[in-house]
């Protein structure tokens, strides 16, 4: 072989090697969008989403990406405002050309976004916005891989209240789509269970709850079902202790993450002990091998244990999206919807499978199992469901 | 319920008054509406948290340092940003609005999205006259708030600086003709206004932990107090704060807890309808 021929073989070999090493290396990435609050009152959720996205993208790309191309996630800030959420969603589709959109944690924002998803015919997998109408509208392009108000109330909270033998309950709801919706469902569930209750609405951004708490104390409940999100929950728990409502009554944080935020104990002090909260994640209970892997990778990446379960919710959603794209074999919206409808994937929270029965919130809905956990001397004890319980309710 | 609502209204009202005094001072002297007022409140809360919680400095010393630093920052802001806008109220309005957004973004970047709370000075709760339980830290905040307001009024009434402030607030040109350096007065008044916001921040942060965006409602309530009491009237501003605190709490107790802040705006609308210059304001001739 002469010199020219030798060089030609080398060049051909290099080109061949480049093609064989992995199509993902040189290919354009497949983009999916995420919507969520990176600023504003619920910026903590944005942080949890960022962490989950980082881990999920690394996981998917380490396994060959999607359609032989790397997966890229574009995160659009909604600031928790419906108008910004709708325009942010539209930007992801028109500017970034994403194949599908995931995320959201504010029901009011999600309700604005589903209209855009439906209009632009882009698959949207809602993650942590719980209001029933999100899936109850039965839009073809809208899915939810996360809790719904009716699922959380009927499958977890109401059953726990009954199983714990509480005699009188008080429902406190913030004036948001999520708060008012979940309070209404709780009311119906308590009525059905013949448990006496009273209810009040509090302002979403209120810092001072003394008047509300004094009203609640006068009623003398043994459980307070608090549907208050964010820092407001910290104020509520601390002030409930100050006015002497707790520990006589047990507070259940009906959302979960604020009870797990890093500053929870600094903000509520000893009044945080014996508080209960709803969560899809517990420090010692892992439902699937992937959940264990998630925890290990999280600790490796961030040098701390995961607390806010929303990091794991978005992680699952990215995995569901990657799986659907691979099965669809293309980025066409119709193919993606069909693939999502046939999802049967083991995630960190169990097997994801979307409901197909039309007419109610179960359509395109996958409800992961939720736990009721109690803080007992700063350690988490699972109270409900009984098969996952690690201890008993303390009062 | 009535006793608790009145007590809580008084506590919250003093807090409102304290935050509003800084706004009133700056509006009265400089005719500048400081949209970043709430962010100075939050910054002091963060400083207090940082020094006391993270660096382990005594909470009281941390509070004093925090107020001092915010005062200095206020001087810098006035000198570099507000002074070039003298004569055009709209520029200073836009500038402070942008400043508030910049501050919020910086808070998020530096302190993160989670609430931060400096250590409480006093823990637990007290049974007040056998009627209700009330948090000790709130009672301490009430006392501290009253002391700061009293000191501010004493400064205003008894010192030369206070006389200069009152003179400039009443008639700026006449004050200048009498030898008052109003440019320097502006500088100090803006710094003092920020320091008052900071004082409210350090007193309240142990009760209501600070978050990057918590300054917006603080500033909004302060503006309502100022308008309610009469633009530039210090005593009107304190009365405005107390009225708001009590009305909000009585409304929540006897009408609805879901619309606590609506009562605030109802009162504002009523006052503007029947006394457009505010409770203590004077009509312009």
| Lowest-pLDDT choice from B9-13, B143-147, B272-276 | B272-276
Please report, in angstroms and rounded to a whole number, the separation of the first and last CA atoms in chain B. 45
Mutation test of the interface with chain A: which of B209, B215, B251, choosing the one with the most A Cβ atoms within 10 A?
A: B209
- Token digits for A361? 């919130």
Using DSSP bridges, classify how beta strands A71-77 and A30-36 pair: parallel, antiparallel or unpaired: parallel
3-class DSSP string for B76-145: HHHHHHHHHHCCCHHHHHHHHHHHHHHHHHHHHHHHCCCCECCCCCCCCEEEECCCEEEEHHHHHHHHHH
Spell out the domain ranges in chain A: 27-147+287-363, 150-279+371-388
A317 and A103 Cβ atoms separated by less than 8 Å: yes
- By C-alpha distance, which of B226, B248, B247 is closest to B238? B226
CB contact under 8 A, A242 and B125: yes
Q: Residue B198 above 60 pLDDT?
A: yes
CA distance B52 to chain A (A): 13
Task: Please provide the CATH number assigned to the domain covering A150-279+371-388.
Answer: 3.40.50.2300
CA distance B239 to chain A (A): 20
B125 touches chain A (CB under 8 A): yes
* pLDDT of the residue at A240: 95
* pLDDT of the residue at A15: 47
**Which chain B residues are closer than 8 Å to A206 by Cβ?**
260-261
Phi, psi angle pair for A171, to nearest 5° = -105, 125
* pLDDT of the residue at A23: 43
Is A232 exposed, middle or buried (CB count within 10 Å of its CB: 0-12, 13-18, 19+)?
buried
Mean pLDDT of chain B: 89
Phi, psi angle pair for A349, to nearest 5° = -105, 20
Mean pLDDT computed over B140-151: 94
CB neighbours (10 Å) of residue A254?
A: 29
Sheet (strand A101-103) strand order: A71-77, A30-36, A101-103, A124-126, A142-145, A365-366
- Write the CA distances from A19 to A11, A13, A16, A222, integer angstroms: 12, 10, 5, 67
B79 touches chain A (CB under 8 A): no
- Write the CA distances from B276 to A53, B137, B230, B272, B273, integer angstroms: 54, 37, 9, 4, 6
Length, in residues, of chain B:
285
Phi, psi angle pair for A8, to nearest 5° = -60, -40
B214 touches chain A (CB under 8 A): yes
Per residue in B133-143, pLDDT (tens digit) is 888 999 999 99
CA distance B93 to chain A (A): 22
B212 touches chain A (CB under 8 A): yes
Q: Note if the bond before A385 is cis, omega within 30 degrees.
A: yes
Give the mean pLDDT per block of 10 residues along chain A (395 residues): 49 46 64 94 90 97 95 95 95 96 94 96 96 95 95 95 95 91 95 94 87 91 93 91 92 89 88 93 82 94 90 96 96 96 95 94 94 93 91 92
Helix axes B215-229, B37-49, angle to 10 degrees: 130
* pLDDT of the residue at A2: 52
Confidence label for B283 from pLDDT (cuts 50, 70 and 90): low
Task: Please provide the CATH number assigned to the domain covering A27-147+287-363.
Answer: 3.40.50.2300
CB contact under 8 A, A203 and B120: no
Enumerate residues 6+ apart whose C-beta is below 8 A from A124: A89, A100, A101, A102, A113, A114, A117, A141, A142, A143
- Token digits for A278? 């709803």
Helix (H, G, I), strand (E, B) or coil at A334: helix
**Which chain B residues are closer than 8 Å to A47 by Cβ?**
112-113
B139 touches chain A (CB under 8 A): no
* pLDDT of the residue at A20: 43
The DSSP letter of residue B56 is -
- Cα torsion angle, B90, B94, B97, B102, sign: negative
CA gap B282, B285 in Å, rounded:
9
CA gap B87, B77 in Å, rounded:
17
CA distance B164 to chain A (A): 37
* pLDDT of the residue at A56: 97
Mean pLDDT computed over B260-274: 85
Mutation test of the interface with chain A: which of B113, B123, B131, choosing the one with the most A Cβ atoms within 10 A?
A: B113
Mutation test of the interface with chain A: which of B105, B246, B252, B261, choosing the one with the most A Cβ atoms within 10 A?
A: B252
- By C-alpha distance, which of A146, A222, A219, A228 is closest to A180? A228
The DSSP letter of residue B9 is H
Confidence label for B279 from pLDDT (cuts 50, 70 and 90): confident
DSSP of A164-226, one letter per residue?
TT---EEEEEESSHHHHHHHHHHHHHHHHTT--EEEEEE-TT----HHHHHHHHHH--SEEEE
Query: For the complex shown, is ipTM > 0.85?
Result: no
Mutation test of the interface with chain B: which of A45, A179, A201, A207, choosing the one with the most B Cβ atoms within 10 A?
A: A207
- Token digits for A328? 């669809």
Mutation test of the interface with chain A: which of B115, B247, B251, choosing the one with the most A Cβ atoms within 10 A?
A: B115
B205 touches chain A (CB under 8 A): no
Q: Which of A200, A263, A269 sits opposite B116 (nearest CB)?
A: A263
Confidence label for B54 from pLDDT (cuts 50, 70 and 90): confident
CA gap A208, A211 in Å, rounded:
8
Helix axes B160-170, B136-158, angle to 10 degrees: 80
Evaluate whether A27-147+287-363 and A150-279+371-388 have a shared fold: yes
**Which chain A residues are closer than 8 Å to B133 by Cβ?**
242-244
CA gap A208, B204 in Å, rounded:
12
Question: Between A and B, how many CB-CB pairs are < 8 A?
Answer: 101
CB contact under 8 A, A215 and B257: yes
CA gap A320, A61 in Å, rounded:
14
Per residue in B56-109, pLDDT (tens digit) is 899 999 999 999 999 999 999 999 999 998 878 788 889 999 999 999 999 999
Q: Residue B41 above 60 pLDDT?
A: yes
Helix axes B37-49, B89-111, angle to 10 degrees: 30
CA distance A36 to chain B (A): 14
Mean pLDDT computed over B18-47: 91
CB contact under 8 A, B261 and A46: no
Mean pLDDT computed over B23-39: 89
**Closest Cα in chain A to B246:** A211
- By C-alpha distance, which of B235, B240, B239 is closest to B268? B240
B252 touches chain A (CB under 8 A): yes
CB neighbours (10 Å) of residue A75?
A: 18
CA distance B89 to chain A (A): 28
CA gap A34, A361 in Å, rounded:
22
CA gap B46, B31 in Å, rounded:
28
Domains of chain B and any CATH numbers: 2-274 (1.10.3470)
């Amino acid at each position: 072989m002469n010199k020219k021929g030798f060089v030609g073989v080398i060049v051909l070999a290099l080109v061949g090697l480049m093609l064989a090493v992995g199509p993902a290396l040189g290919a354009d990435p497949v983009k999916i969008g995420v919507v969520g609050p990176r600023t504003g009152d619920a910026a903590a959720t944005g942080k949890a989403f960022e962490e989950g996205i980082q881990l999920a993208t690394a996981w998917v790309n380490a396994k060959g990406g999607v359609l032989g191309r790397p997966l890229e996630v574009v995160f659009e800030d909604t600031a928790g405002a419906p108008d910004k959420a709708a325009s942010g969603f539209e930007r992801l589709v028109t500017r970034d050309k994403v194949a599908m959109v995931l995320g959201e944690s504010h029901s009011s924002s999600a309700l604005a976004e589903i209209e855009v998803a439906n209009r632009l015919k882009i698959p949207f997998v809602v993650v942590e916005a719980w209001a029933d109408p999100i899936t109850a509208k039965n839009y073809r392009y809208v899915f939810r891989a996360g809790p719904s108000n009716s699922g959380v109330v009927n499958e977890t909270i109401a059953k726990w209240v009954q199983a714990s033998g509480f005699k009188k309950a008080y429902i406190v709801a913030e004036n948001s789509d999520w708060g008012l919706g979940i309070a209404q469902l709780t009311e119906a569930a308590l009525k059905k269970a013949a448990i006496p209750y009273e209810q009040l609405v509090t302002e979403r951004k209120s810092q001072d709850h003394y008047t509300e708490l004094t009203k609640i104390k006068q009623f003398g409940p043994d459980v307070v079902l608090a549907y208050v999100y964010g820092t407001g929950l910290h104020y509520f728990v601390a002030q409930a202790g100050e006015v002497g409502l707790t520990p006589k009554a047990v507070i259940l944080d009906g959302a979960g993450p604020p009870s797990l935020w890093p500053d929870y104990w600094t903000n509520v002090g000893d009044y945080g002990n014996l508080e209960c909260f709803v969560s899809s994640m517990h420090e010692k209970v892992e439902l699937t091998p992937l959940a264990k892997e998630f925890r290990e990778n999280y600790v490796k990446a961030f040098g701390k244990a995961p607390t806010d379960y929303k990091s794991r919710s978005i992680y699952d959603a990215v995995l569901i999206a990657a799986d659907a794209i691979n099965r669809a074999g293309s980025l066409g919206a119709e193919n993606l919807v069909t693939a999502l409808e046939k999802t049967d994937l083991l995630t960190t929270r169990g097997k994801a499978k979307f409901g197909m029965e039309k007419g109610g919130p179960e359509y395109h809905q996958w409800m992961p199992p939720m736990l009721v956990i109690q803080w007992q001397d700063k350690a988490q004890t699972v109270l409900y469901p009984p098969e996952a319980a690690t201890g008993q309710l303390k009062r | 319920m009535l006793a608790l609502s009145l007590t809580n209204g008084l506590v919250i009202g003093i807090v409102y008054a304290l935050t509003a005094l800084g706004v009133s001072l700056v509006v009265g002297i400089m005719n500048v509406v400081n949209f970043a007022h709430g962010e100075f409140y939050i910054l002091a809360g963060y400083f207090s948290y940082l020094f006391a919680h993270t660096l382990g400095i005594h909470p009281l010393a941390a509070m004093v340092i925090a107020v001092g630093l915010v005062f200095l920052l206020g001087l810098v802001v006035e000198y570099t940003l507000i002074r070039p806008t003298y004569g055009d109220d709209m520029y200073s309005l836009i500038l402070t609005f942008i400043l508030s957004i910049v501050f919020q973004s910086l808070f998020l970047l530096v302190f993160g999205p989670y609430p931060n709370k400096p250590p409480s000075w006093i823990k637990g709760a007290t049974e007040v006259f056998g009627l209700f339980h009330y948090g000790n830290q709130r009672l301490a905040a009430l006392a501290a708030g009253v002391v700061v307001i009293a000191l501010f009024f004493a400064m205003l009434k008894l010192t030369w600086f206070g006389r200069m402030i009152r003179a400039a607030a009443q008639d700026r040109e006449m004050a200048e003709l009498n030898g008052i350096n109003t440019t320097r007065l502006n500088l100090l008044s803006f710094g003092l206004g920020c320091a008052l916001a900071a004082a409210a921040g350090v007193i309240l942060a142990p009760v209501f932990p600070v978050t990057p965006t918590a300054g917006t409602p603080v500033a909004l309530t302060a503006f309502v107090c100022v308008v309610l009491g009469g633009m530039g009237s210090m005593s009107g501003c304190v009365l405005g704060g107390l009225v708001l605190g009590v009305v909000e709490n009585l409304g929540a107790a006897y009408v609805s807890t879901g619309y606590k802040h609506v009562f605030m705006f109802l009162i504002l609308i009523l006052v503007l309808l029947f006394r457009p210059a505010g409770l203590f304001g004077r009509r312009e001739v």
